Structure formats: C-alpha cells, structure tokens
Chain A
C-alpha cells in the first residue's frame, strides 16, 4: 500500500472507530471484537507508517529484529516507548537556545522532516510558534523532573486531539443531564492560551461556552514555567520570571476572587456554569467561597470537572469523596455532574470517571497493562503500569508506556458501560523512588 493509500485507509477506519465509540458511549450493544479489529487494523497501519516515516521508530524496529510486517502482540512486546521519549533531547540545548538542535531532535520523533529555523530564536515560545509555521502543533507539559516534554502533532492528529473526546463524551454528559449544545459560561482555573497539557482542556471547554473566564487571562509562557522550575540564570530571565509571577502567583487570590464574583454573577442570571480545574484548584475555589460566607448555588445543568491529579500539591490532597462532597455543598451541584477526567498529553482522547467510580476507556484506545519489567500482561483484571496504543497518533509514535500504576478490569460496569476501565486511584509506577544506601538524591544531575 502506498503512503497515500495508507493515509486514506487510516481516515476511513478512524471514522468507523469514532462511530463505534459513539454507539458504545450511548450504551447500546456493541461487539467488542469488532472494535478490536478496527483498532488492530489502524494500529498496524500506523506501525508501517511510523516505520517508513519516523526515524526513531525505525531504529527501534530494527534493533528489535522486526520489520514492516508485525502483529499487535509484537508491538506490545517490543515496540512501545515511554512517554519520556518526548523529552529525550539534550537539556543543554534549551539553555543554549539551540533550537536548531531541538528541531532536529523533534524531527526524529515526527513523521515528516523538519527544517531547522534559520534565525536564532530567543525563547521556547518562539520555537513553538516557529513549529506552528511548519505545520507542527506542539503540546508541551512540565513534569516533576522540570524537563518539558514536547508532543508534535500534524494538523490531522491535532484535530483528532481536539475532536475525539467531545465525539463521545457529549453522549456521556447528556446522560448525566448536561447538554453540550446548551448555553453555558465556562470558568477555567488555568490560562486562556498556550499549549501546556491539561490547560488545553480548559481552553477547549472555553471554545464551547457562550462566555469564558480564566483564572489567568493571559497565555502561558513556557519559558517562564521553565525558569520557575530551575531558577533564573540572568537578569533577562529574572525579569521574565517577575513579570510572570506578577500575572499569576502574586495575583492568585485576586484572580480566584474575580472568578468567584463572576460565577456568582452568572449564577444569578440562571445560566449554567462549567467549572474546570485541577483538584487542588477546585478545592481552593470551594474554600474561598466557603470562607467568604457567600452562597454561590449554581443553576441546574451546571457541571464541575476536575483532572490532572494533585502532583506537587500532594500535601493538600483530600480523599476524592471528600472533595466531591465539598464541591456539592459549596456549589449545590449534584454528584452526577461533578466529574473527574484522566488523560495525557500524548493521548488523543480522555477518560471520564463514571458513577461506578471507574474511568472507562473508549474503544478509541487499545490499553496495554505492563508488569514491572515492562512486559505486557494478559487478563481481564490486571494491576500494573498503564500503556496504550493510540490509533489516532499519526504524526508521532503512539505506542506509549506511561508512568502510572493502574488497576484495569474488563467487565460490565454497574453504570451500563462495557469494556476496559480503570478502577480506583491512579498512582505513580514503581521504580521512580529514591533508592537505598547506594541510592542517589532525587533530581541530582550528572
């Protein structure tokens, strides 16, 4: 099959998978084998495309003694990469502002060759903008290691990211009483613009809203986030950091209060509200409302969504049930419309936690659970490291092992959905802890 024919077939099967997923989301009877066959076909097509077009993937295939024709099991056993591949660049390049080297690196994990920028770019933000002119949409995220990961998407993959989740989540929300087409106001505990992982979800919600309010009415500055993590190295960086802090950290309370006032105002008009943020942010908003003594009862069909985990705010963590109760008491929103989502920058879809307390994996994603040696496990009730084969990752290698430890079951759920689902809490995978006497201190660079 030539490359165009492959792409054309990919599009067809993608459409079929989306349709299949909608039927699943409506809780109508689906044949799981039919979904599996669709995923398998597109995953194997992706494998061939990656082999042809993505240099690093081709190396992995050759190192593993494989070729263009492999089966799904071989991909799971030999050809998955970890999410760290998206930060496998030399960190010194960022300090040296060597965005030529960064572009060459990105080209290794991207399906098209990228031309390095001619002019010296000054910031990560400039580089991201440059890549956009090359047709590459980069989503970046900042992990606890302080290194950014960059996931490069072409237009097709970017559109999948933008549309896939709403394609099926709208049905799931409808069942809970939230109509996607209704007029609502969005309140997002994040930045109005920029490409930082979870922030994008908030921006997407904002796109569907009649009006949207952001905690930070500004675009996120990747360089500032980086400097915040590793400390400023010169006066220019110090200035940038201070400007960023002035817009964010220093005005955090003020911004929360502004959002709280606006929410109260919207509630008074009767228009429904969607509030989105990380759990620690939603908790903070609740605490502020409660401390203010104000009554901010949200109108019917309002919804509160949180996701992204507690991360470096682990110290503020409260049990999920307690948080849900707190939200319900603060905003008068029924439990069904308080939702938690799970996704990753590298995945072109999202999972929503159901009333049965499970994150349901849509048929768009092929889950793989791996043991501590990163070998795939088989079964319908598995505890291990979460990995997935993403049929919609066309422009980068989408066979990914995460750093999350999960419990996956494949059975009918009391909520009515079927198929694989994550039960209980998602935690960090082992192997990242600081080790014994011969161990080393965390984040020491050598």
Chain B
C-alpha cells in the first residue's frame, strides 16, 4: 500500500490491509513527543465501535481520543478516479495536558527568548528553511503521506511543500519585522530587539500638573515591541497556513503553540521534527509547541483560553470556530482571520481587449489554492449584455480547461455531490460550461442570471458568472466577508477603489493579481505582526 520512496524513518507508518497507520509526533516546548505504539487492530475496532454506537457511517467516525493516544482518520483517496478508495489513513498522535504547553515562567521568557537578538531569529530560520526545502527528506515524506488522504490536488500539494522553505526565509522574515513593526521612522527589528528611545518631547500629564507639587521637566520616553505568548489555531484550507502562523510567532520571538488543523496535520508534525533535529536547543524551539486536539475539547480549551497561558489567540477558520473562541477567551486578545472570499469585476472594456487573455488572468484568481483560499475569486461579475456574459463564461471555461491540463483537479466525492446538487437543483436552469474527461469533473463555469447563494459554492474550480449593467451595481454585493476584488481594466480601479474599500474589502487588485504579496503586506486589514507584539512604554 505505502510504497515509500521517501525516508520512512521520518513519520514512520505501518500498512495493515487497506489501512495506513502513521505516528505523528508533537513538539511540546522543545521536546518531541511520539504517541505510544498503538495496536492497529484495537484502533480500528475502536472506530468501528464508535460508528456503531453513534449510528455513524464509517467515514463520519473521524476522531477518537483513547486512553493514551488520539487518532484522526481520513478516508484514502484514489486520485486517478477522484473517489474514495478502500481504507483509511489513521494519524496517531500523543496526548498532552494544557499545562505542558502553557508558558508561565516569565523570567525564562524575558531572559532567554524575548532578549534573543535578531541574528538569533535569522540563524534559526536559516537552519529550518534549509531543512524543509522541497528537495529535503521531510518534504518528500510529507508529500507522500499527504497524497494518501488530502483532498488538495497533487499539483497544489507539491507547491505547498515547495513554499515552506521560502516562507521560512530569514531575510524575508526580517524585512517583515522591519516593515510591520516600523515606528517613528525606525525599523521594526530595533523595537523587537530592545527598548528604543523615541526622542519625542513629552508632557508629564494634566493631573500631575494640577497637583500640589508640580515638577517640571520631561524625561526620555522609550518604546519596545514586546514578544507575546501566542496560541495559533490554524485552518487546513492550505497546508501552508500552519507554517505561516509559526513564522509569525518565530519572527516576533514569541512563545507559541501552533494547533495544526485536521486535514493538514503532517506539515506541523514535520516542522516540529525539523526543529528538534536541526535547531534543538534554540530558545524558539524550547518555547514552541505544535499539537492537535479536537476543537471543542472543553477539558483543554477551558484552560488554554483562560488568560493564564496566552497573551494572543490567533484563529483562522470557520465562523463557528471563531465565535466559539471569542466567546470563551474573554480576557485574551483574539486576532481572527475570518472566512472570506474574492470576486472579480470585468468591465465592458474586456470585449474590446483580447477576451482570452482577460479570462486567463481572471481564471488564475479563481485558482488560488484550488479556490480554497480566502482571496480566491468565486464569482465573476461581467458588465455587458447577456450574450457578452455568456461569451465570457465560455472563454473562461476554456481558460480553466488549460488549468485542468496543467494541474489536474481532484474533486472530492462530497464536492462532486454538491456540484451535482447545483446542476440538478438550484442552478438547473442556469447555463453550464463543464470541463472534464472520462466522466470526471475538472472545472466548470456557470452563468447564473439571478442572485446566487454563496453557501452553495463548492469552492473547487467552479466559477459563477453574473451579468450586471454597470460594475457599480456590484457594490451592493460587497461586505467585510469579501477579501479581494479583482478589476479589469486597470483604468476602472481608481474610480472604484475607495468605494470598494469603504465596504470592508481588504484588497483591490488588477485581475490576475489576487495573490500578489510582499513581506509585511497587510493581511485582512491588519498589520498582523504589529498586533502580535505588545507595544510597551518606558
């Protein structure tokens, strides 16, 4: 079953019948913790029992916490058929107590982590970045295991593992710090390294001046960007998200806990493994934990969300997860990356431009992380007649067909069902342009004459095309849930930009550039590193 070409010693796995059992270690404040060796028959039997007792189908029984391990199981995927195949990937993980990952020794934090010079961050990231390069045994093994059950197409998975090294690039990280924490015309790394004299004149304050013994004279004022204790609850829509979260914690010299998402546990486990092997005694390693627990586990979360252990809680993900954390973490500062999506506005000028090129650029904006990213465009609004909108939809479907050829799509059965529901249900009267081979769906464009409920969008290479008389009419569909608007042509952007931004949209880009980024770029309306550190005065 698992014909390993990668180093099987990294994340050892056992094949039993159609099933694969892999042991995923956690990083617990610098120490790797492997799960105790589990009897595969006992694990399988426990899932069978769970399904039977709760009346679940086998695929619905996805998580179990046993006496000494926790197990997340995912159905394995036949990539050639875009279908589930027999067998599950059992990801066996250790247990931990919340106190083990919380940080309460402030002296240790201040003395060894928060006082770390920037070179300490650079050397740490350089070692890690080199270790997890796409040629590394970590990436090879991670990709091999992820391909067993990930619902991400193979091309995107490879790309994801290829980005880890670049994400951890030390020069990029330092630039991020310098830009995002920049204050009073000084680079951010100065504030992160220590106290910086502001040189600004200051006043003592009104009350002091009113008092019986007013004293004159200003003293120097100092500012510092103090690292924090951070809990990052990550999302699995891209395997890179846990790495991005970890990078933000590393770049701010912060003690952190990264909660890996179900659906992408392997990148986190590999990062922990690489840290333990390549930078074992580094203060950042000693103050980092990379773990998993099932969301909603009150025994863990009631402790972790109390103000005791963390100064910042970062939540990526679904609204219920965000709401649940916000409701319980009343005394922590919570930073959320809410569910958002992108849209594309095609002005009538497109029909005098080469339409194929316009559609090719716009298709790229819909393809970001196979349409799972919160900047990926789900709906394209076309300014023009119905015939023009239909023509655009047709040409766009051809552009998507090229994508299908370049990066074969994987439409998981659940999403295939969702698309079928649309075709034989709500959108049965809409005009469909479908790409696929041998009965296997690749991508599709659907021209919808009326409004469309985004809840129905499968986010799997399906673009909804809507027609409008004028682009300004699309303003009514904007709100804070829209992350990005891509506009064609460029000349229409200046006239629309402020009105779009005022409605809560974070990025207004030319089409084809939804994914454009640079180190330190604002994310979801925030300068994130600036929110992750605590700005102190002295």
Contacts and interface: CB of A to CB of B under 8 A. Distances in A.
A436 B236 contact: yes
Residue from the set B417, B424, B426, B428 with the largest chain A CB neighbour count within 10 Å: B424
Contacts of B413: 371-373
A92 B451 contact: yes
A93 B450 contact: yes
B429 A56 contact: yes
B369 A434 contact: no
Given A56-B429, A81-B424, A430 B414 contact: yes
Contacts of A29: none
Given A374-B417, A439-B339, A440-B457, A80 B317 contact: no
Interface stretch (A83-91, A199-207, A315-323): A83-91
A441 B429 contact: no
Interface in A120-172: 145
Interface stretch (B202-210, B372-380, B513-521): B372-380
B453 A85 contact: no
Contacts of B459: 435, 438-439
A181 interface: no
A335 interface: no
Given A91-B450, A436-B317, A438-B341, A81 B425 contact: yes
Nearest to B372: A438
A82 to B, nearest CB: 4
B108 interface: no
Contacts of B237: 436-439
Given A145-B453, A401-B424, A446-B343, A436 B318 contact: yes
B462 to A, nearest CB: 13
B317 A441 contact: no
Nearest to B381: A446
Contacts of A436: 235-237, 317-318, 339, 372
Contact of A437 (B56, B337, B414, B454): B337
B329 interface: no
B339 A440 contact: yes
A60 B454 CA distance: 24
Contact of B424 (A80, A373, A438): A80
A82 B424 contact: yes
Contact of A443 (B316, B415, B450, B455): B455
Interface string A96-109: 00000000010010
A108 B428 CA distance: 10
Contacts of B453: 145, 443-445
B421 A437 contact: no
B449 interface: yes
Interface residues of B, number: 56
B198 interface: no
Interface size bucket, A side?
Answer: 35 or more
Interface in A367-401: 370-374, 383-385, 401
A71 interface: no
B449 A90 contact: yes
A384 B55 CA distance: 11
B452 interface: yes
A89 B429 contact: yes
A441 B454 CA distance: 8
Given A81-B428, A444-B454, A407 B417 contact: no
A440 B454 contact: yes
B341 A431 contact: no
B55 A424 contact: yes
B436 to A, nearest CB: 13
A118 interface: no
Nearest to A145: B453
B439 to A, nearest CB: 10
Interface in B316-345: 316-320, 337, 339-341, 343
Nearest to B450: A90
Interface string B29-60: 00000000000000000000000000111010
A377 B376 CA distance: 34
B481 A445 contact: no
B277 interface: no
B477 interface: yes
B53 to A, nearest CB: 12
B241 interface: yes
B420 interface: yes
Given A372-B414, A446-B477, A441 B339 contact: yes
B167 interface: no
Interface in B339-375: 339-341, 343, 369, 371-374
B426 A435 contact: no
A442 interface: yes
A438 B339 contact: yes
Contacts of B343: 446
A435 B339 contact: yes
Residue from the set B426, B457, B459 with the largest chain A CB neighbour count within 10 Å: B426
Contacts of B59: 372
A446 B414 contact: no
A233 interface: no
Interface string B53-97: 001110100000000000000000000000100000000000000
Interface in B419-472: 420-422, 424-429, 449-455, 457, 459, 464, 466
Contacts of A440: 339-341, 378, 454-455, 457, 481
Interface in A389-432: 401, 407, 424, 430-432
Given A431-B421, A434-B339, A446 B378 contact: yes
Nearest to A383: B57
B10 interface: no
Nearest to B82: A373
Contacts of A383: 55-57
A403 to B, nearest CB: 8
B166 interface: no
A414 B229 CA distance: 60
Given A60-B424, A82-B425, A432-B455, A92 B55 contact: no
B82 to A, nearest CB: 9
A91 B57 CA distance: 36
A84 B320 contact: no
A282 B424 CA distance: 36
A85 B481 CA distance: 28
B276 interface: no
B509 interface: no
B118 interface: no
A92 to B, nearest CB: 5
A105 B241 CA distance: 45
A87 B426 contact: yes
Contacts of A432: 455
19 contacts: A56-B428, A81-B428, A87-B426, A88-B429, A145-B453, A371-B417, A374-B421, A385-B417, A401-B424, A431-B421, A434-B320, A437-B316, A438-B371, A438-B372, A438-B374, A438-B376, A441-B339, A441-B481, A444-B453
Given A374-B417, A440-B339, 7 more contacts: A88-B427, A384-B57, A401-B421, A407-B55, A443-B453, A445-B454, A446-B454
**3 tightest A-B CB contacts, nearest first:** A84-B425, A90-B450, A82-B425
Interface of A: 56, 60, 80-85, 87-93, 105, 108, 145, 370-374, 383-385, 401, 407, 424, 430-432, 434-446
Interface of B: 55-57, 59, 83, 235-237, 241, 316-320, 337, 339-341, 343, 369, 371-374, 376, 378-379, 413-418, 420-422, 424-429, 449-455, 457, 459, 464, 466, 477, 479, 481
